[in-house]
């Protein structure tokens, strides 16, 4: 059985806690590897290595830091298919989607390569008589990245790309469900010339996360995962004096106005609801057609589109989506569908009980479509995170606008319309962090930033872009005056300096 340990100080090391977790092949249900679950003392070793590496890295000039990341980017590109195959085998998403996972992470590495420009600081000459002021952004030291199972390449790169470029060292604690890609990325980072100890991967579960939260040498925590755990990590990190940005769950709505290009809306929502088996925090699991006619037109096109979906193993090039990540997750999604029916939703397409011939042990779910979902249903309020699309019918623009605005989550939303004025008003008023206008999965490009509102994010600084740079650095402002050795300034020493 393949054993996955940790990556510390430039080397793969075996775990010593005696605790492990099984990693499944979601296509077959077979256990394919075991991953070590770190104890607090293993975390100590990794952090000590990171502290040492960071002290040297902080002295490296920004263009040299950028060059290492550039070499890393080229190496990852060279290993793209290998990484995507490894990712698909543990996660279950199809190969093309796994490549997308890697590519969206590399976008942030590219942005991070611009650190010489972005971390330059500000200078004011003559802020007072003979006085200049400059502000610089210093790294925090060692920071931690705690990541979810659903983007095992992109989300680690969001975090370590920005953190390392700005002079920090990183402890990466990936999801215990699919740790192989994060481990391989750390290996490639060293192969690209990254100093050993600067990116350590410590595998584990709550015990490893708690060790991070309690470690005095870890100065900041970036987290992405479900909301209850995001909230726990945020409050514990803050209690221990750490900076924290903790992204949580989501329930993103796709609004369709009567004047929308319906063929495009259906094409987009089909992919955004069922792609990656619905396991994306920017998926569109709720569709809101505005008006009866819109709902009927939507259904007349969506029902045959769903019928045409092809579910297959993650290496099947013709599959639209693959299995969900674990048997436990499949059971959770199934029980949410059962509950939705009990709550009164109308089951139009039933994905429960789907079996892929030859892969009966795999965690496959067919697409499910539920109509007449209402806001009082638990299955509307909670995240399902599976290939399930819920229809909530609205009569007016205002009703549709209120749905995502009043929902506990506020990650992403999309509106489909040909009316620019309506789209503009929607984008302005909706209480959600990321908005798509005729765009289904509005994950912002790397030079903007990523972050939801309400229970989709705790903390006030977004991931990547200039927000990411600010998160991983602290400002130092220097006010300086150069007098001759025998010169005395005219101001009083007893009054606060005013210029």
Give CA–CA dist 75/185, Å, rounded.
10
Shortest approach of ligand NAD to residue 326 CB, angstroms?
9
Q: Which residues, including other chains, have CB under 8 Å from residue 421's CB and lie 6 or more apart? A: none
**Of positions 149, 189, 298, 426, contacts ligand NAD by CB under 6 A:** 149
Question: What are the tokens at 489?
Answer: 């300034």
C-beta of 198 vs 213, nearer to ligand NAD: 213
In the list 4, 8, 246, 281, the residue contacting ligand NAD (rule: CB under 6 A) is: 281
- Cα within 13 Å of Cα(472), Cβ side: 30
Instruction: Return all residues near 90 (Cβ < 8 A) that are at least 6 apart.
Output: 23, 25, 26, 32, 152, 177, 178, 179, 180, 181
| Beta-carbon count within 10 A of 375 CB | 11
- Report residue 372 as tokens: 């007449």
Q: Give me the least distance between CB of 244 and ligand NAD, in Å please.
A: 13
Shortest Cβ 452–ligand NAD spacing (Å): 5
Query: Whole-number minimum distance, CB 298 to ligand NAD, in Å?
Result: 25
Query: Is residue 433 a contact residue for ligand NAD (CB under 6 A)?
Result: no
DSSP code string of 71-101: HHHHHHHHTHHHHHHHHHHHH---HHHHHHH
* Phi, psi for 199 (deg, rounded to 5): -130, 100
42 binds ligand NAD (CB under 6 A): no
Check residue 148 for interaction with ligand NAD (CB under 6 A): yes
Interface residue with ligand NAD, options 17, 34, 214, 226 (CB under 6 A): 226
Residue placing its CB nearer to ligand NAD in the complex, 289 or 387: 387
Establish if 225 lies at the interface with ligand NAD (CB under 6 A).
Answer: yes
| Residues counted in the chain | 499
Q: Does 178 bind ligand NAD (CB under 6 A)?
A: no
Residue closer to ligand NAD, measured from CB, 26 or 139? 26
| Count of residues of this chain found to bind ligand NAD when the rule CB under 6 A is applied | 27
Nearer to ligand NAD, 119 or 252 (CB): 252
DSSP, residue by residue, 309-331: --B--TT-TT-SB---S-HHHHH
385 is a site residue for ligand NAD (CB under 6 A): yes
Among 156, 167, 271, 452, contact with ligand NAD (rule: CB under 6 A)? 452
Does 234 participate in binding ligand NAD (rule CB under 6 A)?
A: no
CA distance 219 to 265: 44
The DSSP code sequence of 413-471 is EEEE-S-HHHHHHHHHH---SEEEES-SS----TTS-B--EETTEESS--BSHHHHHHH
Residues 403-432 that bind ligand NAD (CB under 6 A): 411
Element housing 48 (H / E): helix 40-57
Nearer to ligand NAD, 37 or 262 (CB): 37
Q: Which residue's CB atom is positioned nearest to ligand NAD?
A: 225
281 is catalytic: yes
Residues forming beta bridges with residue 287, ordered by sequence position: 254, 391
Q: Contacting ligand NAD (CB under 6 A), which of 42, 101, 187, 383?
A: 383
The single residue among 224, 256, 337, 392 that binds ligand NAD, judged by CB under 6 A, is: 224
Could you tell me the two tokens for 321? 């989506």
Give me the catalytic one of 46, 172, 199, 281. Answer: 281
> Does 252 help bind ligand NAD (rule: CB under 6 A)?
no
Give the residue numbers marked as catalytic: 281
What residue ranges bind ligand NAD (CB under 6 A)? 146-151, 173, 175-176, 205-206, 209, 224-226, 229, 232, 247-250, 281, 383, 385, 411, 452, 456
């Amino acid at each position: 059985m393949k054993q996955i340990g940790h990556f510390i100080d430039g080397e793969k090391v075996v775990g010593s806690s005696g605790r492990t977790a099984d990693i499944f092949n979601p296509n077959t249900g077979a256990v394919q590897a075991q991953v070590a679950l770190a104890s607090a003392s293993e975390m100590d070793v990794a952090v000590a290595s990171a502290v040492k590496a960071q002290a040297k890295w902080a002295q490296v000039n920004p263009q040299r830091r950028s060059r290492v990341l550039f070499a890393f980017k080229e190496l990852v590109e060279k290993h793209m298919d290998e990484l995507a195959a490894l990712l698909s085998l543990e996660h279950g998403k199809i190969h093309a989607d796994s490549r997308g996972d890697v590519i969206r992470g590399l976008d942030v590495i590219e942005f991070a390569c611009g650190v010489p420009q972005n971390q330059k600081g500000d200078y004011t000459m003559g802020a007072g008589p003979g006085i200049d002021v400059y502000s610089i952004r210093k790294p925090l030291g060692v920071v931690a990245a705690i990541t979810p199972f659903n983007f095992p390449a992109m989300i680690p790169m969001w975090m370590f790309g920005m953190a390392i470029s700005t002079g920090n060292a990183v402890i990466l604690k990936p999801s215990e469900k699919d740790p192989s890609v994060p481990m391989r990325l750390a290996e490639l980072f060293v192969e690209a010339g990254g100093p050993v100890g600067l990116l350590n991967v410590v595998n584990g579960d709550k015990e490893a996360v708690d060790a991070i939260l309690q470690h005095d040498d870890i100065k900041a925590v970036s987290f992405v995962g479900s909301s209850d755990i995001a909230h726990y990590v945020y409050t514990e990190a803050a209690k221990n004096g750490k900076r924290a940005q903790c992204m949580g769950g989501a329930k993103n709505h796709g609004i369709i106005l009567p004047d929308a290009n319906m063929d495009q809306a259906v094409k987009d929502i089909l992919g955004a609801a069922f792609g990656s088996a619905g396991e994306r925090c920017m998926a569109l699991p709720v569709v809101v057609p505005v008006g009866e006619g819109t709902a009927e037109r939507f259904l007349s096109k969506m029902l045959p589109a769903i019928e045409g979906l092809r579910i297959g193993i993650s290496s099947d090039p013709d599959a639209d989506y693959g299995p969900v990540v674990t048997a436990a997750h499949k059971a959770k999604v199934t029980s949410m569908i059962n509950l939705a029916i009990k709550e009164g939703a109308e089951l139009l397409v039933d994905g429960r009980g789907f079996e892929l011939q030859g892969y009966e042990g795999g965690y496959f779910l067919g697409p499910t479509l539920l109509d007449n979902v209402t806001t009082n249903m638990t299955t509307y309020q909670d995240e399902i995170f599976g290939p399930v699309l819920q229809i909530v019918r609205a009569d007016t623009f205002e009703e549709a606008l209120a749905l995502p605005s009043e929902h506990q989550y506020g990650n992403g939303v999309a509106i489909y319309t040909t009316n620019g004025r309506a789209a503009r008003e929607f984008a302005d008023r909706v209480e959600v962090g990321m908005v798509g206008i005729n765009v289904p999965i509005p994950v912002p490009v790397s030079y903007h930033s990523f972050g939801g509102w309400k229970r989709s994010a705790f903390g006030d600084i977004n991931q990547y872009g200039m927000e990411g740079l600010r998160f991983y650095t602290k400002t130092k402002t220097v006010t300086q005056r150069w007098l001759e050795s025998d010169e005395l300034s005219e101001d009083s020493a007893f009054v606060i300096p005013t210029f």
